[in-house]
Structure 1
């Protein structure tokens, strides 16, 4: 079973719900999905860092607790809540090299926006958005060493730039199709498998007309209709 942790932000509950629904709807293999909420992690003593009011999301650093929480010698996954999946994530697992520590889409770009989502400042740094979707290899020693003490004490740049991986060649590369940054790349005719509304999605009033926004709205409406039918 692939254990998936989705970053949860209280401002984007509907984004988490739609992300989760799209993952489940397309998955052929078995998956489990858990929202990565900061308050329970604090209550359990797993996340102890001071509140960072400059962070763009509540899961900016808690994402790196994923392999510890998953507690598996197989693959586990973290993904931001502002993703929409149009294909099967479990099909990707069979193609991964077991010698790699982590797989990510290795973006090389300069953000086109100065603000994102609901007015948060847009930052630019090396390996930006690599950590927005990560597949962790639980057998790799660098992943096994990524424990709560590291997540709670390491410099944020150390975590987001993957400096905790000793050999850069142990960072595997996924195709752009698995973390397509809406608004940063020209939209292809065929919808990507993992659409990332990194600057803001249709759940924010000022981002309704983004590329693939209609796909997200359709997925939300499908989810709500299914919930209503089950409740009837």
Structure 2
């Protein structure tokens, strides 16, 4: 079974559910899905003031939530799986503390959804899809206290790890269509500037696939009732 933690923002709950549906719909193995909702994390107090969403730092609690045992996957909520997540899971490397896509780009947009600022910084979006080796000794440093006190730069750049402990995933597992354009080979699509549920992002590249997933999420088969009425 794959333990998957998904970022949850109550301002855009629909994206969590669409993301979860895309995971379940295509997975060939059992999944355990956990929304990272701040109201459920009573042991953690979010004091950072520079975040654009509630899970921007709680994602680093995954090793603690796993009891520093086994592996787990974290993904942002504004994502859509286009392939079986078991294929991503199969890329785990026990010699690494984390595994992620090593994006290297400068954003084209100064802002993103709900008026949030969108700045470029080193290792931007590396932490949006993370295979966590929770049992790796280096990840023992990532305690709730550390997460509460550390800066965004320390956390998102994985500064508690040596560079050789940060494994690399293929970019198809964290494709940014609003930054890079459409990609038929993408396996995981990340609407990093804003999910298509927001009007201003409703027609970004690959948005049609998100809208389809939302329809599938809301679908309910019906018994056809024939007249008379």
Distance 1:27 1:72 in 2: 25
Question: Paired residue for 2:163, among 137, 159, 168?
Answer: 168
The CA deviation string for residues 20-72 of structure 1, in whole angstroms up to 9 with x for no partner, is 1111111112210011001221xx22x123262x4111111111001211235
In structure 2, what is the equivalent of residue 24 of structure 1? 24
**Alpha-carbon distance between aligned partners in 2 of 1:105 and 1:212, rounded to the nearest angstrom:** 20
1:98 counterpart residue number: 94
Shift of 1:223: 1.1
Name the structure 1 match of 2:116.
120
Deviations 1:177-224 (A, max 9, x none): 000012211322x15110000011210011111111000000110110
Q: CA deviation at 1:126?
A: 0.6
Asked whether the equivalents of residues 88 and 173 of structure 2 are also in contact (C-alpha less than 8 Å), the reply is no
CA distance in 1: counterparts of 2:211 and 2:103, whole angstroms: 26
For residues 49 and 32 of structure 1, the distance between their equivalents in structure 2, rounded to whole angstroms, comes to 25
Partners of 1:215 and 1:195 in 2: CA distance: 10
Structure 1 position 71 matched with structure 2 position 73 = no
Aligned to 2:39: 39
Query: Of 205, 208, 212, which residue of structure 1 is paired with 2:199?
Result: 205
Structure-1 separation of matches of 2:131 and 2:47: 27
Structure 2 partner of 1:48: 45
5+ residue gaps, structure 2: 224-229
- Write the distance in 1 (CA, Å) between the matches of 2:40 and 2:90: 32
TM-score by length of 1: 0.91
| Displacement after TM superposition at 1:93 (Å) | 2.1
Distance 1:73 1:49 in 2: 24
Question: Could you say which residue in structure 1 is the equivalent of 2:227?
Answer: none
Rg larger in structure: 2
SS in structure 2 at match of 1:183: helix
CA RMSD in angstroms comes to 1.6
Deviation at 1:96, TM superposition (A): 2.1
Structure 1 unmatched ranges of 5 or more: none
